[in-house]
Amino acid sequence: MELAGALQLGELAAAFAALPVFPLFDTAYFIVSVLYLKYEPGAVEMSRKSPFASWLCAMLHCFGSYILADLLLGESPLDYFSNNSSVILATAVWYLIFFCPMNLFYKCVSFLPMKLIFVAMKEVVRVRKIAAGVHHAHHRYHHGWFIMMATGWVKGSGVALMSNFEQLLRGVWKPETNEILHMSFPTKASLYGTILFTLQQTRWLPVSEANLIFFFTMFMIVCKVFMTATHSHASPFAPVESFICPVFFGSVSSGHTSHHHDQHGASHEVSHPPPPPAKSKEELNEGTRKRKAKKAE
């Protein structure tokens, strides 16, 4: 019975890994990506003032991971745009979300139950891209572990890593929102996932690629759907990181904290206006003489 169950699970994983992502899953990926673009402040106004800039931002949201991966591997960043079907599909999704009459298409795809389905389908594409990026880099650099991990990482989270460049196209400059400094859950999960796929590709992880794709996709779907449904930004990796990071990398020193408070204290002191200077004796005597002269008058 256990062997039969393992065989059935293996067949399910193999069938899942062989499932084509175009056009159904790619459409869901484009819908969620362009939805996130529309959520950005000023994105709707920009689409009216400069439709081309809006379209270019949408293409970066849809294909930014492919562009970054091609740059890392020394290939043309425009290679993926030769895929006319995907570009036309992404353009159609962008137009419907931003310019559909009465916002009907946007209201349908942003309806929470529908959105959760699209979010789950997007994670299927994300994991496939990570696996494809690691496999592609392994084909060119058989012993380049870090190249495999870098390629798989940008394939899974290239859009977030290009966020500052995409903001520049919208006329916004927020360097403090750098994804490297403040990693979101998809970026962290893509990093951990690409490590697993690199270990599997180099035969250090004794599991088939199909099984790894299946189980990691299920993990990503459960986490991302739950976070979207509850509007949560808490990372499921936080409890483990809070335990491991202080052990290996140390905690924030108290001196830095006290210095931070000292700076704030100094700023508060400076913010208060200084008291007016005390008057000299000559000024006081002169004021007294003026008051006496007024009384005499």
Residue 235 CB partners (closer than 8 Å, separation 6+): 185, 188, 241
For 185-196, what is each residue's pLDDT tens digit?
A: 999 999 999 999
- Whole-angstrom CA distances from 85 to 20, 81, 92, 171, 235 are 15, 9, 11, 30, 35
For 127-178, what is each residue's pLDDT tens digit?
A: 999 999 999 999 999 889 999 999 999 999 988 888 888 888 888 888 777 8
Q: Higher-confidence residue: 179 or 210? A: 210
Distance in angstroms (rounded) separating the CA atoms of residues 97 and 279? 69
For the chain, the domains span 10-236
The number of beta carbons lying within 10 Å of the beta carbon of residue 123 is: 26
Question: What dihedral angle (degrees, nearest 10) is formed by the CA atoms of 154, 155, 159, 162?
Answer: 30
The number of beta carbons lying within 10 Å of the beta carbon of residue 71 is: 13
Question: Is residue 193 a contact partner of residue 237, using CB atoms and an 8 Å limit?
Answer: no
For 210-221, what is each residue's pLDDT tens digit?
A: 999 999 999 999
Q: What string of DSSP letters covers 96-155? A: HHHHSGGGHHHHHHTSHHHHHHHHHHHHHHHHHHHHHHHHHHHHH-TT-HHHHHHHHHHH
Distance in angstroms (rounded) separating the CA atoms of residues 214 and 223? 14
CA angle 192–194–198, rounded 5-degree value: 120
239-263 average pLDDT score: 66
224-250 average pLDDT score: 88
**Burial call 230-266: b when 16+ CB within 10 Å, e when fewer:** eeeeebeeeeeeeeeeeeeeeeeeeeeeeeeeeeeee
Task: Work out the pLDDT band at 6, boundaries 50, 70, 90.
Answer: low
